[in-house]
Amino acid sequence: MNAESDQRTAAGAEGSGTDRERLGSRAPHFVRRSRALHLSWQAGVFVVGLAVVVAGIVMLPLPGPGWLVIFAGMAIWATEFVWAQLVLRWTRRKVTEAARRALDPRVRRRNIALTVAGLVIAAGLVAAYVAQYGLRMPWRAGD
């Protein structure tokens, strides 16, 4: 995981000539000069990123911004590791494609129609409940 050997451009890794963001370590120069210091730096970045990713995974079933924290951990890893930089690029590309598809007028019309249909069904169920039972709640809070 020597960062100096990972210093390639996105054009070489992805085939696009427009993106010139560099891959590899973003550690300070004095850290990269010493192999022992650089390896300990990478270990520290890995441990901190792992702690953030694990916290995000814990937040998935619990209240909290789980996916946001997981991506923050990946961003921490991406400051030092090429594999994390490539995963973040892939994720960013997929999110951009999904946003573009979601903003397609046909898809938006379909989503709006489904939402309206769901709201009409929910309103019908509420109206049926009120007609059958009145405005009383199903539990006995007053007793």
Amino acid at site 97: E
Most confident of 11-15, 43-47, 64-68, 119-123: 119-123
**Average pLDDT rounded to a whole number, residues 36-54:** 87
Backbone angles phi, psi at 61, to 5 degrees: -85, -20
Output 30 or 55, whichever has higher pLDDT. 55
Q: Assign 82 a pLDDT band (cuts: 50, 70, 90).
A: confident
What does DSSP assign to residue 6? G
The per-residue pLDDT for 2 is 47
**Average pLDDT rounded to a whole number, residues 11-30:** 58
pTM of this prediction exceeds 0.75: no
Q: How far apart are CA 1 and CA 5, in angstroms?
A: 8
Determine how many CB atoms are found less than 10 A away from the CB of residue 85.
23
